[in-house]
Structure 1
Amino acid sequence: MSDSDLLFSSIPQIGALYRSGRLSPVELTRLCLERIEALDPVLNAFITVTAQRALQQAAQAERELLSGHDRGPLHGVPIALKDLIDTAGIRTTCASRILKDHVPERSAAVVRRLETAGAVSLGKANCSEFAMGVAHADYRQSNNPWDPARTSGASSGGSAAAVAAGLCFAAVGTDTGGSIRIPASYCGLAGLKPTYGLVELEGVFPLSWSLDHAGPLARSSTDAALLLEGMTGKSFGQRVDLRGMKFGVIQRGGLGVEPEVAAVFESACDALRSAGATVTELEIPALEQADAALFSVLLPEAAAIHARWIGVRGDDYAPMTRQQIEMGFAIPAVTHVRAQQFRRHLTGRFLNALDTLDALISPTVAWVSPAEDPVFTGDEGAVEGNRTVPHNLTGLPALSVNAGFGEGGLPVGVQIVTRPHSDAFCLGIGAALEAALPHARTRPPELRFV
């Protein structure tokens, strides 16, 4: 197997090679670090690469596996962490000037769990400043491995780019309005926003307390389930048979859906039908109010979080980040309360729909990866997040999987939504759909990097 093929293997394949003695964690970690050195100047996926620490973790994993101490599927597997997740003794910048020298004393709960699972952390992935959808000029946006002239998505773009380019095998992202699923769609990955509260957020810098989620980005739903297991200590392996399942299509068109995205989505629906599932159209009443509700919740919560800095270090923010924070101070409390009431109403609508359906599906994003991330409070940002935002409001598990490619060879995602706490089922549907959709290409062409 070539080094390139090895770096695009699945996590179970890597585990089998480790346990057969045909590959060592140190050898694989060195390959990942070499690839980061070669490609990250183009991709800008990492803010901090922790090469020495990664090699130490890999050596420990190698010793443990050789001695029969097996921590599970992630043992010795190289991953990345979004750079707003605290790591003890390692810079955690939130891609901001304000925290550019911040070194936490304690790792986030999710990092501690991943360390217990034996994962090897290669470093801290680039992201939008404080996850607000705007790249600070000090860090710049991460670029898409499928076309480095385009974005890998906000705000977990560095995590997505690193996985898609074969720099690591999975990465942790966060999602407040689509920040895992949108990069997953743009980069051809599986990205899960779990059920709200499933992943502990202690030590993860907040954007909006009541909307924030942390979740996995990987090259398949199966690999994403394995990373989620490491993040939570729970099992998410579930095989799903699509035969006899009932899917409801929501937000199929409208709001700028590009023809190439619509065509890929239709092919995914056809694949579900061919596998024996029923696919029907469905409307969720009041769904068009979701974007306004999200802003009325997110912006005041973000303003409260940043009140300690905005008055004294306002010039250290990217101008648009600062503007969005200041918008939060102007939203009346009654508007915030009504938005929270709307969330309960919207959640009830989704639960009613899922009483008679197994899952809801939609395009993840209306278009393929653009050149730059749109500002999420602007008109283009509203279109970009139109299909992801509702599920942050409801807290339902929502998974984006690669469904194919548009005319320009860029990935297109399909989003799968299921009932609360059915994350294993959601990931199982994702794996079944991936198996039913033969992709012409499953990884970016290497020539793009030459």
Structure 2
Amino acid sequence: MKNDPLMQSIAETGRLYRSGTLSPVEITEWTLTRIEQLNPGLNAFITVMAEPARQQAEQAERELGSGLDRGPLHGIPVALKDLIDVQGTPTTCGSRIRAQDHPTRTAPLARRLEEGGAVLVGKTNMLEFAYGVPHPDYGQTNNPHDLGRTAGGSSGGSAAAVAAGLCFAAVGTDTGGSIRIPAAYCGVAGLKPTYGLVDLTGVFPLAWSLDHAGPLARSSEDARLLLEALTGTAICWSGPIDTLKVGVLRLHAEGPEMQLEVAEVFASTCHALQTAGIKLRDVQVPDLEWADEALMNILLPEASAAHSGWLQERPSDYAPLTRIQLELGCVLPAVAYVRAQQYRRRLVQRFLAVFGDVDVLISPTVAWVAPAEDPVIAGDEGAAEARRSGPHNLTGFPALSVRAGVGAAGLPVGVQVITPPGQDALALALGSAIERLTAGGSNDSTSADW
């Protein structure tokens, strides 16, 4: 899909708007047409907001024509994961429980996008309540690179929509890897920002102390622009990349679950960084191996607390595996939750000590390329899938997945960049460098199966 206007960067599309070569109305109509054509196969959208999007595009075109410029997202089609409230539009959370829910207020993060002139084209598919499995009423989101595989959970609809050109960027949420895992599977950039950086008011919670909202886009630079709009703050890092000290998180660069093709892409990425003059060294984080258990011992009871009413009143409306996981959280001993929170405080200190020696950490995002189906979160395979992403929900530190190459079957492979808290701009800057130094930054999607 070379020279496809729907696969351009946000900055290039904005430049063409302002030169009069393209218009927000044209781009929005092409986007809605592509959604109509491809969504039956991808199942990336639950709700398409066609008429509101057309109205927003017309307004953006009028404003830009009159000299009113709201910023980089003005007139740019963007999607929202369907647990983010937009007034008058259903927020289903991918569940029968909330199928008829119509919020009366718009979440602040969505309102910021509207104020920045973004065109909100729809609400994207997700695992039920960002937790269990796809609810049968909504089904799995399929991977744009192979429709027989999953786009990942829980923000799979957002990642697939971005990868397939159904929007230029999207917002997802991440509690144990739910932005970064779909980003890796679909070959896009996905950032879990510093905990609390993006306002979660009006976003249905999974686990309050682990939840993050953040951007998915086709490049780290586009993700940066979306994050600026979501936060209303400048996200900028201007230091020299080649002076960075990069730590390779050795425990997560290896492991029995690691697929050879993922290991090869990660090794190639490390070599590319070294060739560019960046110093790499292996690092170890003490006690990191306990993160899988701690994550679940926090996530399970926090999720069950959020669902206690519906679990009693409407248990049969959940997908069976979602209900089972919610029931597990109700019987987890309180002491296990407390100990996990104590471990979490120690883990933060362990990572901060490592960041005293290196500027940034890297690891594979996931140990494998996109599978046929999403593993059960509370199972062994689910733990392995989130092993490299979940620890950074425990710490709340920024973590970015970028496409760094493809495996033997042509499926994307993600590399993860982790920085100290508040240094989201550094994560995005190194992500951009990785995209430039590897094949990961290409928007050529000709290998996709759509």
Same fold (TM over 0.5): yes
Structure 2 contact 146–448 (Cα < 8 Å) conserved: no
The 3-state SS of whatever aligns with 1:311 is helix
* Equivalent residue, structure 1, for 2:381: 380
How much has 1:255 moved relative to structure 2?
A: 3.7
CA shift digits 1:342-386 (9 cap, x unpaired): 100001000100111010100000000000000111111111000
* Equivalent residue, structure 2, for 1:84: 83
Task: Provide the alpha-carbon RMSD of the alignment.
Answer: 1.2
The 3-state SS of whatever aligns with 1:401 is strand
* Equivalent residue, structure 2, for 1:269: 270
Moved more, 240-249 or 143-152: 240-249
How much has 1:239 moved relative to structure 2?
A: 3.8
- Rate the CA distance shift 1:239–1:227 in 2: closer, same or farther, 3 A: same
How much has 1:435 moved relative to structure 2?
A: 1.1
1:109-148 aligned within 5 A? 109-148=108-147
1:294 & 1:163 partners in 2: Cα distance?
Answer: 28
Structure 1 contact 164–443 (Cα < 8 Å) conserved: no
The letter for the 1-side match of 2:267 is E
1:288 & 1:429 partners in 2: Cα distance?
Answer: 26
The 3-state SS of whatever aligns with 2:372 is coil
Structure 1 contact 79–122 (Cα < 8 Å) conserved: yes
The 3-state SS of whatever aligns with 1:413 is strand
TM-score (norm 1): 0.98
* Equivalent residue, structure 2, for 1:317: 318
* Equivalent residue, structure 2, for 1:294: 295
* Equivalent residue, structure 2, for 1:347: 348
1:177-196 aligned within 5 A? 177-196=176-195
How much has 1:3 moved relative to structure 2?
A: 9.2
1:170 & 1:115 partners in 2: Cα distance?
Answer: 14
CA shift digits 1:90-127 (9 cap, x unpaired): 01100000100100000111001111111000000000
1:20-31 aligned within 5 A? 20-31=19-30
Unaligned 5+ runs, structure 2: none
TM-score (norm 2): 0.98
Structure 2 contact 42–143 (Cα < 8 Å) conserved: yes
The 3-state SS of whatever aligns with 2:241 is coil
The 3-state SS of whatever aligns with 1:429 is helix
* Equivalent residue, structure 1, for 2:40: 41
1:227 & 1:320 partners in 2: Cα distance?
Answer: 34
- Number of residue pairs aligned between Structure 1 and Structure 2: 448
1:75 & 1:354 partners in 2: Cα distance?
Answer: 37
The 3-state SS of whatever aligns with 1:148 is strand
1:205 & 1:24 partners in 2: Cα distance?
Answer: 34
CA shift digits 1:2-22 (9 cap, x unpaired): 996111100000000000011
Structure 2 contact 132–321 (Cα < 8 Å) conserved: no
CA shift digits 1:151-192 (9 cap, x unpaired): 000000000000000110000000000000000000111100
1:401 & 1:63 partners in 2: Cα distance?
Answer: 35
2:316 & 2:3 partners in 1: Cα distance?
Answer: 43
1:49-60 aligned within 5 A? 49-60=48-59
The 3-state SS of whatever aligns with 1:15 is helix
Unaligned 5+ runs, structure 1: none
The letter for the 2-side match of 1:26 is V
How much has 1:311 moved relative to structure 2?
A: 1.1
How much has 1:442 moved relative to structure 2?
A: 3.3
Structure 2 contact 145–447 (Cα < 8 Å) conserved: no
How much has 1:326 moved relative to structure 2?
A: 0.5
Structure 1 contact 241–432 (Cα < 8 Å) conserved: no
* Equivalent residue, structure 2, for 1:363: 364
How much has 1:240 moved relative to structure 2?
A: 4.7
1:429 & 1:239 partners in 2: Cα distance?
Answer: 11
2:97 pairs with 1:98: yes
2:386 pairs with 1:415: no
How much has 1:211 moved relative to structure 2?
A: 0.2
The 3-state SS of whatever aligns with 1:98 is helix
* Equivalent residue, structure 1, for 2:439: 438
How much has 1:443 moved relative to structure 2?
A: 3.8
2:413 pairs with 1:404: no
CA shift digits 1:393-420 (9 cap, x unpaired): 0000000000000000000000000010
- Rate the CA distance shift 1:440–1:276 in 2: closer, same or farther, 3 A: closer
* % identical equivalent positions: 60
The letter for the 2-side match of 1:21 is G
